[in-house]
Amino acid sequence: MKRLACAAVFKRFGNRNVMTPLRESEIALVKAATRNPLELRSRRDFRAALEQALHHVLVALHVEDRFGALRSQISEDRWFRALEQAWERLEPPARLQSWQELLDRLIRISYASRPYCLRCGECCRGGSPSLHEEDKDLWSQGLLSPRELYTLRPGEPVHMNVEGRLGSLPEELVKIRQRPEIGHCIFYQEEEKACRIYEHRPLQCRVQACWDPGPFEELWRAGKLSRRHLVQDDQEMLELLGAHDERCSPEKLGAAVGAWHESGSEAAIQQILDQLRYDTALRSLVQERLGLGEDELEFYFGRPLIRIVRAYGFRVERDGNGTYRLVRDT
Q: How far is CA 168 from the centre of its chain?
A: 12
Look at residue 177 and tell me whether its pLDDT is greater than 90: yes
The whole-angstrom separation of Cα 307 and Cα 319 is 18
Look at residue 303 and tell me whether its pLDDT is greater than 90: yes
Q: pLDDT at position 291, please?
A: 92
Mean pLDDT of all residues in 209-223: 84
CA angle 271, 276, 278 (to 5 degrees): 95
Look at residue 255 and tell me whether its pLDDT is greater than 80: yes
| Contacts with 311 (C-beta within 8 Å, 6 or more apart), sequence order | 5, 8, 9, 12, 13, 157
The whole-angstrom separation of Cα 319 and Cα 223 is 44
The whole-angstrom separation of Cα 75 and Cα 40 is 18
First-last CA distance in the chain: 16
Tell me the pLDDT of the chain averaged across its residues: 85
Confidence of residue 2 (pLDDT cuts 50, 70, 90): very low
**Can you point out the beta strands (E) in the chain?**
149-152, 157-160, 165-168, 173-176, 188-189, 194-195, 314-318, 324-328
Mean pLDDT of all residues in 125-153: 94
pLDDT: which is higher, 8 or 76: 76
Mean pLDDT of all residues in 40-67: 88
Confidence of residue 131 (pLDDT cuts 50, 70, 90): very high
Q: pLDDT at position 93, please?
A: 92
**Best CA proximity match to 121, nearest among 32, 184, 215, 199:** 184
**Best CA proximity match to 149, nearest among 247, 224, 240, 199:** 224
Look at residue 31 and tell me whether its pLDDT is greater than 90: no
Look at residue 145 and tell me whether its pLDDT is greater than 60: yes
